[in-house]
Homo-oligomer: A and B are copies of this chain.
């Protein structure tokens, strides 16, 4: 992503760590399955170089490459709970403490399909 954003160029430690762990986990999962970079990359429709970037936790790589790797390894469902509103206790409390409504409500909160 040209005009590299600050967060991608120099991410907070926590983000950098999370990315490295995620990439390393993806690598571990791939090796356990005895797959080459090229095997997984081909399934995803990307090059082995970009998949290697994913496994290194490169911050500027497209999010679809990361999720695609999880998908190709059968690990995508583990992402379902991340930022799940039902588990966002702090958010729920904040929402209740304010009176009725919050900010812009959007048409129907985009429940696509």
Interfacial residues, chain A to chain B (CB-CB below 8 A): 1-2, 5-8, 11-12, 14-15, 18-22, 24-29, 31-34, 36, 44-47, 50, 58-68, 70-71, 73-76, 78-85, 87-88, 90-92, 94-95, 98, 102-104, 109-110, 112
A18, A63, A73, most chain B CB atoms within 10 A: A63
* Pair A25/B62 contact, Cβ less than 8 Å: no
Are B15 and A71 in touch, CB under 8 angstroms?
A: yes
Q: Which residues in B have their C-beta under 8 angstroms from that of A62?
A: 1, 5, 7-8, 59-63
Query: How far is the CB of A45 from the nearest CB of chain B, in Å?
Result: 3
Interface of A is mostly: helix
Looking at A31, A36, A47, the one whose CB has the most chain B CB atoms below 10 A away is A31
In the bound complex, residues from chain B placing their C-beta under 8 Å from that of A58 are 63
Assembled-state Cα–Cα distance A78/B68 (Å)? 19
With A28-B91, A34-B103, A67-B15 as contacts: A22 and B59 at CB distance below 8 Å: no
